[in-house]
Amino acid sequence: MGMNKKKVPRLIWKFPISFRDIEKAGEVANKIKKRFQNLGMKPEIVRRVSIICFEGEMNLVLFAEKGGLIRVEVFPDRIDIFFEDEGPGIKDINLALTPGYSTAPEWAVEMGFGAGMGLYNIKKNSDFFEIFSEVDKKTMVHSRIFLTKCKDGSPRRSNLNES
């Protein structure tokens, strides 16, 4: 009481992601999934975190020319996931968020990547979502999942987007 303590994360995990290391793609998402299961998180939260991390990891593998980083921060009331990279950046963020729009290379599309659902799926599974990008420089995607509900029992979602 009295002291207005700044909230600090209970856990911080960082995972570097290698550009075009397609063989390993998905391994970090599974590692994060297992860690959340071990923390005893609800299956619904684990499911959302898994989807967010898989899509974010794929984006970094496909586009993070100088490598990327996934940072996961776990607070008592929320999970923050950041995907950061120095790479081509995103010219038109609204377009990139449109389901079905993809700039993935042909070889990746043939492997079943690049469906144009990545950022859309991240946003859809987040309670809060933001993205910053500078063309030819960097991109940062921030996804937040709340672990607590509002006083009236409704989910704490700050971007109630199209389903």
Partner 1 sequence: MNLKELVENLGIKLLNPGVNLERDISDAYVCDLLSNVIANAPEGSIWITVQRHSNIIAVAVLKSLAGIILTQGIVPGKETLDKAIEEKIPIFSTPDNSFRIAGKIYQMLLNK
Q: CA-to-CA distance for 22 and 84, rounded, in angstroms?
A: 18
Task: State which of residues 18, 19, 20, 22 lies at the interface with partner 1 (CB under 8 A).
Answer: 22
Decide if residue 25 touches partner 1 (CB under 8 A). yes
Closer to partner 1 at the Cβ: 74 or 119?
A: 119
For the bound state, the minimum distance from the C-beta of residue 117 to partner 1, rounded and expressed in Å, comes to: 4
Q: Which is nearer to partner 1, 27 or 136 (CB)?
A: 27
CB contact at 8 A, 132 and 140: yes
* Dihedral (CA of 55, 43, 126, 6) sign: negative
Query: Minimum distance from CB of 12 to partner 1 (Å)?
Result: 22
Q: Which residues bind partner 1 (CB under 8 A)?
A: 22-23, 25-27, 29-30, 33, 47, 50-51, 54-55, 58, 111-113, 115-118, 121, 124
